[in-house]
Amino acid sequence: MKENEKLKNELELLRQEVSKHENLVSTLEKEGKKATDEKHRIDNIIHNLAEGMVVVDDKGKVVLANTAAETLLGVKTGDIIGKPVKEIVGSEHLLTTTKDLAAEKDGVVEKDIEFVSSDESTRKVLRASSAVVEDNNGNTIGMVTMLNDITKQRELEKMKSGFLANVTHELRTPLVAIEKSISLIQEENTGALTPAQGQFLAIASRNIKRLGFLIKDLLDLAKLEAGRMELKAEPVDLGKLIAETLETLSNWAKTKQIILARDVQAGLPLVSADPNRLTQVLVNLLGNAIKFTPETGTITVSACRTAETGQVLVTVTDNGMGIPKEDLSRIFEKFYQTKLRSSSDISGTGIGLAIVKEIVELHGGKVWAESEGRGAKFLFTLNKHTGMAEGTPLGGENG
């Protein structure tokens, strides 16, 4: 009886142990089903994304590619899973251009990838946004790339640039004819003018010149967008160029009693730049400053050598109405106008600063704006002259 009692107790303990394990198995099965369902849900989301998605491991081998990615790349999953990412391009395509555009945020890089083939219908341009994947210890374990087909977008941009260039070019011819005709009348080659006629012709002449500057800006913008602007590099004395530009704009500044000041560091090295385009940058920045600086204000152009990079830093500072903090990051976008500008009676197109940015970047420099309440400061960098041959192109078909 004692032996039986002992066996019963042991059996009960075993039953409890079994029950405990059964509960554990049941819990694991539920968790497993939940994880499986979640995986299926995520897989469905990934494979039904409109954007292509490619995931690679730390060795650069593809571990996942959704349906959209397969379609965009012209491949099948079985052909790329486990293979190096460099081999995912279909044999009928030739990867010809991979251009880094910008690091929009930490760890994310965008690239435009152009595919060409003998068949025009299969030519395409993809925009790839890639991000590195790290574990909890900060070790790289792979990379995720999102793909978008921007072929149509590129075609539309090209058509827009071509149309803009053609229209602005056609506008210049009649504009020049009108300007010359008004000039002849103002010189009284066609007869004497009354004071009222002279006043109206002067107004017309000023507006024609303004329209001419706008057309020139549009043409330059079209060239920059199409990558057709070439810069002829030569050693430039920046101090002299700044002085000449200030002299050119002095009469405009005098109409508002604005002081134009110059502060150029002694012994400043020559910079490697296209003097005509660099003058255009300074004129656009100074013109902007004159517009937004009140009467009796001061605008200062300074230039110095930076200790960190050895580049030359140029700064245009005014004591005008300033730039709202939320606009600083967008001030160089095409056709963008700040809230202060759009609410004031000062006219503008939003093209000038966009051209400044493009030209400075073509020179290998960087441009940005700063403003704290009253006044604004525009800064850009230039590379010092390193003895390259005069007239060396800085930009061309590929910018």
- In CATH, what number is assigned to the domain containing residue 109? 3.30.450.20
Side chain identity, residue 336: Y
- Predicted pLDDT of residue 147: 84
Q: Are 201 and 185 in contact (CB under 8 A)?
A: yes
User: Whole-prediction pTM value?
Assistant: 0.56
Cα torsion angle, 228, 278, 360, 259, sign: negative
Asked whether residue 59 is assigned to any structural domain, the reply reads: yes
Q: Considering only CA atoms, which of 223, 212, 158, 153 is closest in space to residue 180?
A: 212
- Predicted pLDDT of residue 235: 92
- Predicted pLDDT of residue 243: 93
CA angle 356, 361, 365 (to 5 degrees): 105
Distance CA 169, CA 228 (A): 15
- Residue ending a domain, choose from 206, 226, 246: 226
**DSSP one-letter code for 104:** E
**CA dist list (Å): 83 to 55, 59, 191:** 12, 10, 83
| 169 and 286 housed in the same domain | no
Asked whether residue 133 is assigned to any structural domain, the reply reads: yes
- Predicted pLDDT of residue 93: 39
Residue with tokens 């939003």: 350
Q: For every one of its 399 residues, what pLDDT tens digit does the chain have, with 9 covering 90 and above? A: 888 888 988 898 999 889 888 888 888 888 888 888 888 887 778 777 778 888 888 777 888 888 888 778 777 766 778 777 666 654 433 333 333 333 333 556 666 666 655 555 667 778 777 788 777 887 777 888 888 888 888 777 777 777 777 777 777 778 888 888 888 888 888 788 888 888 888 888 878 877 877 777 777 777 776 666 778 889 999 999 999 999 988 888 898 899 999 999 998 899 989 998 999 899 989 988 998 888 889 999 999 998 877 889 999 999 888 888 888 888 888 777 765 554 444 455 678 888 899 899 989 899 999 988 788 999 999 988 776 444 545 554 333
User: For the chain, where are the alpha helices, taking DSSP H only?
Assistant: 2-47, 67-73, 77-80, 151-186, 195-226, 238-254, 275-292, 339-343, 352-362
| 203 and 277 housed in the same domain | no
Domain that holds residue 220: 158-226
Cα torsion angle, 369, 371, 375, 379, sign: negative
| 256 and 378 housed in the same domain | yes
**CA dist list (Å): 319 to 123, 286, 358:** 52, 12, 26
Distance CA 297, CA 257 (A): 7
Distance CA 378, CA 315 (A): 6
| 248 and 323 housed in the same domain | yes
Both tokens assigned to 146: 């999102």
| 1 and 141 housed in the same domain | no
- Predicted pLDDT of residue 380: 95
Q: Considering only CA atoms, which of 277, 245, 282, 281 is closest in space to residue 357?
A: 281
- Predicted pLDDT of residue 299: 94
- Predicted pLDDT of residue 282: 93
| 305 and 319 housed in the same domain | yes
Distance CA 203, CA 212 (A): 14
Residues in the chain, overall count: 399
- Predicted pLDDT of residue 98: 34
| 191 and 145 housed in the same domain | no
The total number of structural domains in the chain stands at 4
- Residue ending a domain, choose from 125, 149, 173: 149
Distance CA 295, CA 328 (A): 24
Residues sharing a CB contact under 8 Å with residue 386, sequence separation 6 or more, in sequence order: 272
Q: Are 9 and 26 in contact (CB under 8 A)?
A: no
**What is the distance in angstroms between the CA of the first residue and the CA of the last residue of the chain?**
99
- In CATH, what number is assigned to the domain containing residue 203? 1.10.287
| 360 and 383 housed in the same domain | yes
